[in-house]
Amino acid sequence: MIGTTLDIQAIRKDFPILQREVNGKPLVYLDNAATSQTPQQVIDVIVDYYQRYNANIHRGVHTLSQEATDAYEAARQKIQKHFNIAHSHEVIFTSGTTHGINLVATGSTSFLKEGDEVLVSAMEHHSNIVPWQMLCERTGATLKVIPMNLEGELVMEEYHNLLSDRTRLVFCNHVSNALGTINPIEEIIEAAHKVGAAVLIDGAQAAAHIKPDLQALDVDFYTVSAHKMCGPTGVGVLYGKEEWLKKLPPYQGGGEMIAEVTFEKTTYADLPHKFEAGTPNISGGIAFGAALDYMNSIGFDAIAQYEDELLNYATEQLLTIDGLKIYGTAAHKTSVISFNIEGIHPYDIGTIVDKLGIAVRTGHHCAQPIMDFYQIPGTVRASFSFYNTKEEVDKLVEGVTRARNMLL
């Protein structure tokens, strides 16, 4: 029995999509690590924006523009409060985590030179690898990799050995999207700072499960995406310490990010607008704030406790299936299970369980180096949220067992 203070059935009613059927079966949505579903409370905020006060923000004197601006900036303050950020101008709206990482990677070009080193962990999503490879190509800096072990944990002894007075930047995800591992980012940040390096943490996978205190972490940059947190796609946030955001040049030129424009010289706007060129995803930003309100009304401690119980139950039940192997068995995990069955391609399992209405992710999960490390083509990944149930775990186990019996 899974014990929780949450009323899961009441929560499920907030999510219209959970009421639908797929292939004639009730939807069992277990692809939350790719994107979470969106509650009616957030959908209503998006609809309300377009029905009542759709207007371009900032600089407008008319009522609709002022209402839209107020709602958008109120969302920025909600995000500031949620992540315990010192100043609202350290909250940069982006199109998502990938945008935020690329903003920092491109802006760091002028700070790096040949002989400098940047460190990235072995378990990164491609969006936290490729921008840094491009940065190294531009600057002549060297990319070094923090290794991982078979349990799916970073080898911290090696990390400390890699740090030196040549280390300029360190990049690591808070939680691995492919394995669910919670990385020891406090230790990573503290050690990097001792050698004068700045740290960017990719929080996309963590933010739906963990409420990070960014001032306590003392992290230099932290990125998140709204769509992993019950919000809409196409919007996210980059947090950066004020001192770093002032050093970085603008990422894109255009409206909103300027102070004065002449053909001789253009001066740039103050933070945060310096990094927010063009018309933003206004409804998305407002809805991100609403999504945080929704998740906080449930409570992150209650969410973490319940998801941990779901993870333990699902792990225990899946391991009863003959030939099933779980990849990523770290001591500290969020609710992600990556697995394979010996002799069966993960795609085939995913296709069969989809016929039963069960949505899981198959493939390399944009983390090919992890798959190469385990010498596998990919995995089946089941990822759970606070609106999933023990009964859905049972359906997953039944579905995977059925797939195994059909394919072997």
- The pair of structure tokens assigned to 216 is 């306590």
| DSSP one-letter string for 363-397 | E-TT-HHHHHHHT-S-EEEEE--TT--HHHHHHHH
| DSSP one-letter string for 257-302 | SEEEE-SS-EEEPPTTGGG--S---HHHHHHHHHHHHHHHHH-HHH
Distance CA 136, CA 138 (A): 5
| DSSP one-letter string for 187-201 | HHHHHHHHTT-EEEE
- The pair of structure tokens assigned to 94 is 């982006």
Cβ atoms 236, 224 nearer than 8 A: yes
- The pair of structure tokens assigned to 356 is 């039963």
Quick: pLDDT tens for 303-349. Answer: 999 999 999 999 999 999 999 999 999 999 999 999 999 999 999 99
pLDDT given at position 408: 87
Identity at 207, one-letter amino acid code: A
Peptide bond into 272 cis (omega under 30): yes
pLDDT given at position 224: 98
- The pair of structure tokens assigned to 69 is 């601006």
pLDDT given at position 275: 96
N- to C-terminal Cα separation, the chain: 32
Distance CA 126, CA 312 (A): 28
Q: What angle do CA 85, 305, 218 make, to 5 degrees?
A: 25
Q: Which fold has domain 44-296?
A: Aspartate Aminotransferase; domain 2 (3.40.640)
CATH assignment of 8-30+299-407? Answer: 3.90.1150.10
Active site residues: 366
Sequence-ordered list of residues with C-beta below 8 angstroms from that of 296, at least 6 positions apart, any chain: 82
Residues with pLDDT less than 70, the chain: 1-3
Give the pTM: 0.97
211's enclosing H/E stretch is none
pLDDT given at position 155: 98
Among 194, 229, 217, smallest CA distance to 33 is for 229
User: Strand pairing partners for 362?
Assistant: 380
pLDDT given at position 255: 85
pLDDT given at position 54: 98
311's enclosing H/E stretch is helix 300-318
219's enclosing H/E stretch is none
Distance CA 239, CA 282 (A): 18
One-letter-per-residue 3-state SS of 41-109: HHHHHHHHHHHHCCCCCCCCCCHHHHHHHHHHHHHHHHHHHHCCCCCHHHEEEECCHHHHHHHHHHHHH
| Delimiting residues of CATH 3.40.640.10 domain(s) in the chain | 44-296
| Residue listed under structure tokens 């490729």 | 130
CA–CA distances in Å: residue 97 to residues 104, 128, 203, 302 = 11, 9, 8, 26
